[in-house]
Amino acid sequence: MRILLVDDEEEFVTTLCERLRIRGFDTEVALNGEEAIALVEQRIPEVIVLDLKMPGIDGLTVLGRLQSRHPEVRVIILTGHGSEKDKDCALRQGACGYLQKPVDIDALVDALKDAYRVPAWSTDGCEAG
Within a domain: residue 123? no
Supply the range of the domain harboring residue 31. 2-117
Q: pTM for the complete prediction? A: 0.90
Q: What is the CATH number of the domain that holds 98?
A: 3.40.50.2300
Within a domain: residue 11? yes
pLDDT for position 119: 59
Closest-CA residue to 36 (of 13, 16, 20): 13
pLDDT for position 129: 47
Within a domain: residue 126? no
Among 28-37, 67-76, 117-126, where is mean pLDDT lowest?
Answer: 117-126
pLDDT for position 16: 97
pLDDT for position 82: 83
Domains of the chain: total: 1
Within a domain: residue 34? yes
Within a domain: residue 127? no
- Reported as a single tens digit per residue, the pLDDT across 38-63 is 999 999 999 999 999 999 999 999 99
Mean residue pLDDT of the chain comes to 91
Within a domain: residue 70? yes
Please give the average per-residue pLDDT across 114-118, as a whole number.
84
pLDDT for position 81: 85
Within a domain: residue 71? yes
Q: Which residues contact 6 (CB under 8 A, 6 or more apart)?
A: 13, 29, 30, 31, 32, 33, 35, 36, 48, 49, 50, 51, 54, 59, 62
Q: In the chain, what percentage of residues exceed pLDDT 70? A: 91
